Amino acid sequence: MRRPALYSRSSRADTGADNPAHPPPAEAGATAAAAQSQTAATPLPSRSSRFTRYLALHQFRLLWTVVALLSLMLALSLSGALHPAARILTQKDINAAVLKTLETTVLPSPAVKAYDAIIPSVVRVVGLGKPSKDKAGEEHSDRSVGTGVVITDKGVILTNLHVVQGAETIKVTFSDGMESTATISGAQPENDLAVLQAHTIPDDMIAATLRSTADLAPGDQVVAVGYPFGIGPSASSGIISGLKRTFRSPEGKQPMTNLIQFDAAANPGNSGGPLVTMDGEVIGIVTAIYNPNQQRSFVGIGFAVPIENAAAAAGMTPF
């Protein structure tokens, strides 16, 4: 007797009665035929169909597992559990960072910082004499060139008296190029100082910062800023060579006292300019250079009036 198929329907099992080549089985086989007929009427699911359902169910469970895992990771991330605790910086870490910065960064020199701080307050001062004609009939006027420093934002300027004394017209040029006439509003002949008032000033006028000389000492670094021989603004750096010096210029009628001696280069034209610290703060007004040979050139010794004396000429007592 032929065995019925288990996983696919056999058309032969259903059409045996109508097939003349295969007559119906005997009665003894009727029960088996009936069973075969019942099996054919209710087919079993195929192997591929059951595998497909199994795979779909497995994928569905895997998907939900992944979703659950991602949800857990998100919750842990929001709670900070996946982030390592921030390490506390130590002094050693800070020192290492500072050292690395110093090794890889080119810092400006102290003189550069001093110059940048004071330059907005430095002015070029020109004193013009009464116009006259020479033998050729050409008109000209005597002129002297020096430096000044703005000490208030109203345009009050300190300079040397010998730069502007006897001038018919005084002109000042500010750091931004603006020019103005000025008049003498005060003087201190014993220290060769003059106080100027500019008639017009820049809108953003910046006054210099004045600093007490009480704690100065020989060896302190200084910068002199001005217009030596009319060239500038120019800067030169050096140190304080001495304090409380006395100096009498060749044309001076009386000696100047309590002067700051310094070795930053100064020449004619530096007169009236500021002597500043490395912070760009004014400690003195350059007033004279030592000229043993009357050459009017720098030989390594310059003198400045302490800012306390200079400010007094303008009626100020800053310290």
pLDDT tens digit sequence for 297-306:
788 899 999 9
Q: What is the pLDDT of residue 266?
A: 93
Is the pLDDT confidence value at 8 over 50?
A: no
3-state SS class at 184: strand
- DSSP letter at 303 equals E
- DSSP letter at 66 equals H
Q: What is the mean pLDDT of residues 167-176?
A: 95
Averaged pLDDT of the chain: 80
Q: What is the pLDDT of residue 282?
A: 97
pTM, to two decimals = 0.66
Question: Considering the chain, what percentage of its residues have pLDDT values greater than 90?
Answer: 50
User: In 3D, which of 80, 122, 93, 85 has the Cα closest to residue 223?
Assistant: 122
Q: What is the mean pLDDT of residues 242-256?
A: 82
With beta carbons less than 8 A apart as the criterion, state whether 62 and 55 touch. no
Q: What is the mean pLDDT of residues 70-95?
A: 71
Is the pLDDT confidence value at 158 over 70?
A: yes
Which residues belong to the active site? 162, 192, 271
> Taking phi first (over 0 means left), then psi (-120 to 50 degrees means alpha), and beta for anything else, what does residue 260 get?
beta
3-state SS class at 287: strand
With beta carbons less than 8 A apart as the criterion, state whether 185 and 194 touch. no
With beta carbons less than 8 A apart as the criterion, state whether 38 and 78 touch. no
Q: What is the pLDDT of residue 18?
A: 47
Q: What sign does the CA torsion over 61, 62, 66, 69 have?
A: positive
Lowest mean pLDDT among 21-35, 74-88, 134-148, 295-309: 21-35
What fold does the segment set 115-313 form as a domain? Thrombin, subunit H (2.40.10)
Q: In whole angstroms, what is the distance from residue 247 CA to residue 242 CA?
A: 12
Lowest mean pLDDT among 82-86, 162-166, 282-286, 287-291: 82-86
Task: Give the start-to-end residue ranges of the domains of the chain.
Answer: 11-41, 115-313
Q: What is the pLDDT of residue 132?
A: 72
Centre a 10 Å sphere on the Cβ of residue 64 and count the other Cβ atoms it contains.
10
Listing DSSP states for 42-59 in one string gives: SPPPPHHHHHHHHHHHHH
